[in-house]
Structure 1
Amino acid sequence: MGLLSELKLAVPWGHIATKAWGSLKGHPVLCLHGWLDNANSFDRLIPLLPQALKWNRFSLMGHSFGGTVAGMFSSVFPEMVDKLILLDSLPFILDINEVNNVLTYKRQAIEHVLQLEASQKPSMVIGPEEMLQGLLKNNTHVGEECGKLLLQRGTKQVASGLVLNRDRRISWPELGFDYLSRELMQLATQKLQAHVLIIKAAHGLSNVRKDQTDQELLLFSISVLRTVLKERFQFVEIPGNHYIHMNKPQQVAEIVGAFLQGQEVAPAS
C-alpha cells in the first residue's frame, strides 16, 4: 500500500496538511496523530493494514490526543462512525479538578492565543542534530529512527538549519483539551454507535505517570466502556511504550487489521 497523495485542506487560518494511502475503492479511515506529532507517525503502520475494505460508514483511528479527538467526534456525530481505534489513548479525558475550574481554563486558552497572535517573534532556527536530540530529550518514548521520521514532516529547511512548521497555537494543550466529569463521560459513551478498540501500551503514558488519580480514572473509563458498549468494545494490552504504532507496527497492524475485518482481537494480557 503506497502513498496516494499529499493533500492540503483549506481552513480560515491556513491549511491542514494530510496524507492519503491505499486504494480509492475502499471506504476511508481517518487517522489522527498525537499532540504535536504529524502524519508521518502512521508511515510504518498504514502499509501493513488491509485495504479496499468497503465499509458502510466512516472509521477513525487515533493515537494519544488524536484518539481523544476521535472519541469526542464519535460521540457528537455517532451516526458517522462505525469503528473507533484508539492507540494508547482513551476516547475522553477525565479530570475532576479541571472540570471544576473550566471557566478559568478557557480564559487561559483565549489569553494564550491572543499572546501568540500578537507576537512577532520569528521561528527559532536549529541545526538538524540539535533538533533531533531536543525531540528525543523531550519525548523519551520516541526512538532515534522514529524521531527522524517525525522531524522529516514536522520541520522545514531554511538556509541555516531547520524550523518547526507547526502552528504555534497548538503548543498550548488547553486550546484543544476538553475535560469531562465522570457523569458526562458516561453520557458521551452511551451516544457511541461505533465498535471501539483500545490498544494500550504496557509502558505507555498512563503507566509512566504513575499518578494514583490517573490510574483510577483509567480503570473507571475502561469499566464504563465495557459496561455500556458490551460486545462492541475490545481491549488489548501489548508490550511497548506510548509510540507502539511506530515502534511495533507489525504487532499493532495484526490487531487493527483483525478488528477492521470484524474479527475478535487477542484478549488483554
Structure 2
Amino acid sequence: MTELRFAVPWGQLAAKAWGPQEGRPVLCLHGWLDNANTFDRLIPLLPQACHYVALDFSGHGMSSHRPPGVRYEHLDYVTDVHRAVTALGWRKFSILGHSMGGVIGGMFACVFPETVRQLILLDSYGFFPIASGTILGHLKKIITHYARIEVPSTPKVYTPEGALQRLLEANSALSTDSGKVLLERGTKEVPGGVIYSRDIRITVNNAAPLSVEQCLLIMKSMRADVQVIIANEGLLADRKSGINTDVGKDLLRGFTETMKERFQLTMVDGDHFVHLNDPEKVAGVITNHLLKEPPVHSQL
C-alpha cells in the first residue's frame, strides 16, 4: 500500500493505493464521514492485477479541510474526483463506491460518462434524491446547520477508547474491529488524547437538490456497466437513511430500464458496512464484475 497526495488550492487530497500502476485503474470512494480505510479489508480480496486508489474526500481522513466559510456539497466531492483522476492521468477507469461514495461516483459517471468503464455501488443507489416538495426545506436546513457549526470551537479530545465508543454509537452497523480500522485514519493525536480529523462542516448532509425524476433523467447519460450490491440489512431496510425503500426501488427500476443488460443487481446478507465488516460476502461479486470485459461501445 502506498500513500498518495494531490495538491489542491487549499492544501491536499489524500489517498492510498494498492496494486501495480500498470493495472486496470479502480477508484474507490468512501461513504459520508468515513475515509479511505473503509476499503482496507476488501481490496486484498479483489483481483490483484488491478490498481486501486482509495480517495479521502476533502474534509475527511487525511485530506485538507476547505477554507473557512466554504461549504461541502456533493458537487464539490465530484470535483475532488475530477482533480484526483486528472492528477493520476486516468482517461478510463472503474469506480467502486460505498454509500455516499456511490452517489458521488454515480454523479461523476453522468457528468463524465466517457471516462467511467464500470460503476460498482456498495449499498448505494448511485443517487440521493430529495422529494420535490421538500427541496426548499432541505436547503433551509443546510444553511441554518452551517450557521450553527461555523462558530469557532475547540475540538473535543477523546481517549482512543472514547473516540471508538462515540463512533460505534453513531454507526450501529459498524463492528468494533471495523471502527478501529476507520479511526486509524479518522483521528489524530493531540495532547491528552485524540481528536477526529474530519471537518465538522462535513456533518451537514449537503446532497444536491435533485428530485427522483431528475435523477432518472440524468441517469440516461451513463455509459458505464453498473453493478449494485444491496445489503438486506442496509439501506433497503433503513427508512431513517433519507432514501426509503420506495425511492430505492424507483432508482433500481430506472437502472433496469435504462441500462438493460449493462445493469446487475445483487442482494447480500449483511448491513450497511458489509464490505468492511464481512468483505468476503461482496468480494466475489465485485471480482466478477471487474474481470468482465466491457462492451466494445464503452471503450475509448
Identify the TM-score tier after normalising by the shorter chain: 0.7 to 0.9
Query: What letter is aligned with 1:28?
Result: P
Q: Aligned pair 1:15/2:9, yes or no? A: no
How far apart are residue 61 of structure 1 and its match? Answer: 0.7
Structure 1 partner of 2:57: none
* Structure 2 contact 230–236 (Cα < 8 Å) conserved: no
Q: Aligned pair 1:171/2:203, yes or no? A: yes
Q: Aligned pair 1:67/2:102, yes or no? A: yes
Q: 1:262 to 1:92 in 2, by over 3 A?
A: same
Structure 1 partner of 2:256: 226
Q: Aligned pair 1:182/2:212, yes or no? A: yes
1: CA distance between counterparts of 2:242 and 2:106? 24
Q: Aligned pair 1:81/2:153, yes or no? A: no
2: CA distance between counterparts of 1:45 and 1:133? 24
State the percentage of identical aligned residues.
44
Greater displacement, 230-239 / 120-129? 120-129
| Secondary structure class of the residue paired with 1:79 | coil
How far apart are residue 52 of structure 1 and its match? Answer: 2.9
Structure 1 partner of 2:179: 147
* Structure 2 contact 30–100 (Cα < 8 Å) conserved: yes
Q: 1:56 to 1:14 in 2, by over 3 A?
A: closer
How far apart are residue 116 of structure 1 and its match? Answer: 4.2
How far apart are residue 207 of structure 1 and its match? Answer: 0.2
Aligned residues: 256
User: Which structure's residues are more often helix, by fraction?
Assistant: 1
Q: Aligned pair 1:132/2:129, yes or no? A: no
Q: 1:140 to 1:108 in 2, by over 3 A?
A: closer
* Structure 1 contact 59–82 (Cα < 8 Å) conserved: yes
Q: Aligned pair 1:27/2:48, yes or no? A: no
Unmatched 5+ residue regions in structure 1? 264-269
How far apart are residue 251 of structure 1 and its match? Answer: 2.4
* Structure 1 contact 225–233 (Cα < 8 Å) conserved: yes
Query: What letter is aligned with 1:62?
Result: G
How far apart are residue 58 of structure 1 and its match? Answer: 1.3
Query: What letter is aligned with 1:171?
Result: T
1: CA distance between counterparts of 2:226 and 2:109? 10
Q: Aligned pair 1:42/2:39, yes or no? A: yes
Query: What letter is aligned with 2:100?
Result: F
Q: Deviations over 1:55-112 (max 9, x none)?
A: 982111100111011001101111110100000001111231xx33435534553554
Query: What letter is aligned with 1:248?
Result: D
Runs in 1 of length 4+ with deviation above 3 angstroms? 53-56, 99-117, 210-213
Unmatched 5+ residue regions in structure 2? 52-89, 294-300
2: CA distance between counterparts of 1:213 and 1:17? 29
Q: 1:111 to 1:142 in 2, by over 3 A?
A: same
Q: Deviations over 1:229-263 (max 9, x none)?
A: 00000000010000010112122111100001117
* Structure 2 contact 7–13 (Cα < 8 Å) conserved: yes
- TM-score if structure 2 supplies the norm length? 0.79
Structure 2 partner of 1:105: 138
